[in-house]
Amino acid sequence: MFKYSLDNKRYHTLDYYYKNKYGKKTFKVSLNGNFTCPNRINGNTGCIFCSSLGSGEFAGNKEKDLITQFNEVKEIMEKKWPNSYYIGYFQANTNTFAPVSQLKEKYETILNIPNVVGLNIATRSDAITDECYDYLEELNKRTDLTIELGLQTINEQTLKLINRGHDLKNFETAVENLQKRNIRVIVHIINGLPYETKEDMLNTVRYLNNLKIDGLKIHMLQILKNTPLADYYQHNKFKLLSKEEYIDIVISQLELLNPQIVINRLTSGPKKEDLIAPDWLLTNKLSLLNEIDQEMVKRNTYQGQKIKK
């Protein structure tokens, strides 16, 4: 059995990390704090792949207060796993893009809920002020804090094409600022971005491995309706990864990662009514994860297998 797994996975699972740390079932509860995004103000249209919900399709309903959002998820989870611990996950849009006074109000509201042991805060590297860093440092001393940073790729040409709004240096600076405050960092990347090769995607993972991040989320590019990417794809039919190619690349990426890096996600499923392509993303998420597992067994490989000793 792989060292950092409880269920014969060959990569460091989030379930293992939480159970090893807390001794019992722990869940992330996705929330919508009704934030916006610095890449969507002053006439900017945001990243070309991002929906109007700011990657928060499965977060809470922003029309409801945070306590209501939290309790709706908790009630479902408690039926299956009573007396669990919870991580408040501020998922939609950019969750540090507001005055610190507003951040405190939202974050502390969730931290005051019984059995909440931490926060995951999804944000951008260009949306954390010095005052915010100071608050996060203080927050990190009294709860299990993790900051999730979107990177998507280290290819500067691709970053411009997808209208990311910041460069790689900006991302590096944010990671350094968080790490020197001992704040855990999870990074989001996207496989299958326009015109990227397998080697481009592997280089992104090599870079992150050297950066000594704490966790990784891997997504397949989704072409969603009513996004700039949908229009771009209509006029520039760039090649999309097949399911088999995606599985191959994900496994190759895992082989390059330090086994201590926690794999928070290997795929994501869009809503059927929103998806234009690729169709295979509508495959049951568990089924796709099983295919990844089976292929890793077939190859007799595991996370970190190709790290040079």
Alpha helices in the chain (DSSP H): 14-22, 66-80, 100-111, 130-140, 156-161, 168-179, 198-211, 228-235, 243-255, 285-299
Task: Please name the helix (run of DSSP H) or strand (run of DSSP E) that holds residue 276, with its range, or none.
Answer: strand 275-277
Q: What is the pLDDT of residues 238-276, one digit of tens each?
A: 999 999 999 999 999 999 999 999 999 999 878 889 999
Q: What is the pLDDT of residues 55-77, one digit of tens each?
A: 544 556 778 999 999 999 888 88
Question: Using CA atoms, how far apart are residues 199 and 205, in angstroms rounded to an integer?
Answer: 10
The structural domains of the chain, with segments of one domain joined by +, span 14-299
pLDDT of residue 165: 85
Q: Is 56 left (phi over 0), alpha (psi -120 to 50) or beta?
A: alpha
Cα angle at 175 between 172 and 181, to 5 degrees? Answer: 145
CB proximity list for 79: less than 8 A, separation 6 or greater: none
Question: Using CA atoms, how far apart are residues 38 and 46, in angstroms rounded to an integer?
Answer: 8
pLDDT of residue 54: 45
Q: CB atoms < 10 A from the CB of 287, how many?
A: 8
- CA quadruple 124, 303, 195, 173: dihedral positive or negative? positive
Structure tokens at 43: 């006439």
Is the domain defined by 14-299 classed in CATH 2.60.120.10? no
DSSP codes of every residue in 6-65? SSS-SS-BHHHHHHHHHSS-EEEEEE------GGGSTT----TT--TTSS-TTS--TTS-
pLDDT of residue 1: 66
pLDDT of residue 52: 63
Question: Which among 94, 168, 181, 83 is positioned nearest to 135, based on CA atoms?
Answer: 181
Question: Using CA atoms, how far apart are residues 48 and 232, in angstroms rounded to an integer?
Answer: 9
> Could you list the pLDDT tens digit for every one of the 309 residues in the chain?
678 988 889 999 999 999 999 999 999 999 999 998 888 887 677 888 887 654 544 556 778 999 999 999 888 888 888 889 999 999 988 999 999 999 999 999 999 999 999 999 999 999 999 999 999 999 999 999 999 999 999 999 999 999 898 999 999 999 999 999 999 999 999 999 999 999 999 999 999 999 999 999 999 999 999 999 999 999 998 999 999 999 999 999 999 999 999 999 999 878 889 999 999 999 888 899 999 999 999 999 999 999 876
The partner residues of 217 in beta bridges, in order of sequence, read: 188, 265
The crossing angle, in degrees rounded to 10, of helices 100-111 and 130-140 is: 20
pLDDT of residue 83: 87
